[in-house]
Amino acid sequence: MPEALEQRDNEREARLAALDVGDARIGLAVGDSTLGFAFGRGYLVRKDPVADVQALLAFFSVERVERVVVGLPLLSSGQRGPQAEKTIVLARALQDAGVQLEFLDERFTTQLAQSRLRHVPKRIRGEKGKLDEAAAVAILETYLGV
């Protein structure tokens, strides 16, 4: 098999994670690029930048994540706002720790997650972090083209 095709096949088989980064929580999702599915893995309650990075690295290790997709909350104009800058700071810390990552415009993933959660029982829908997790799933599904 030609080297270029072999490399693309390896990229398609990657174990992926997605992050929906907020001020209080980070929504988590994982998936496999060959399956085209994303699965919610809960959320991380934010503490401080060092603890957040350590907790995410432990999560990536347990889930055998090879690449991470980080939702970038751009403004409706497409420009970076304060939340996007905070997300980039966390992403840079992950990159400094050796994590391979990509950004994905997440402007519409929260609305998608909210619409999906409308069909979930109210007691589950009301759990803190459920929307963050659902948004992470939507980010990864968007990345995978599902």
Q: What CATH number should be reported for the domain whose range is 3-144?
A: 3.30.420.140
Distance CA 137, CA 46 (A): 19
For the chain, the structural domain boundaries read 3-144
Distance CA 20, CA 123 (A): 22
Mean pLDDT for 8-37 is: 83
User: Which position has the higher pLDDT, 28 or 34?
Assistant: 28
Helix, strand or coil for residue 29? strand
Mean pLDDT for 71-79 is: 88
Structure tokens at 43: 């959320």
Report the predicted TM-score, pTM, of the whole model to 2 decimal places: 0.81
Per-residue confidence at 33, pLDDT binned at 50, 70, 90?
confident
Name, in order, each residue with C-beta under 8 angstroms of 115's C-beta and a sequence gap of 6 or more. Answer: none
Distance CA 21, CA 30 (A): 15
pLDDT more than 90, % of the chain: 55
Mean pLDDT for 90-97 is: 97
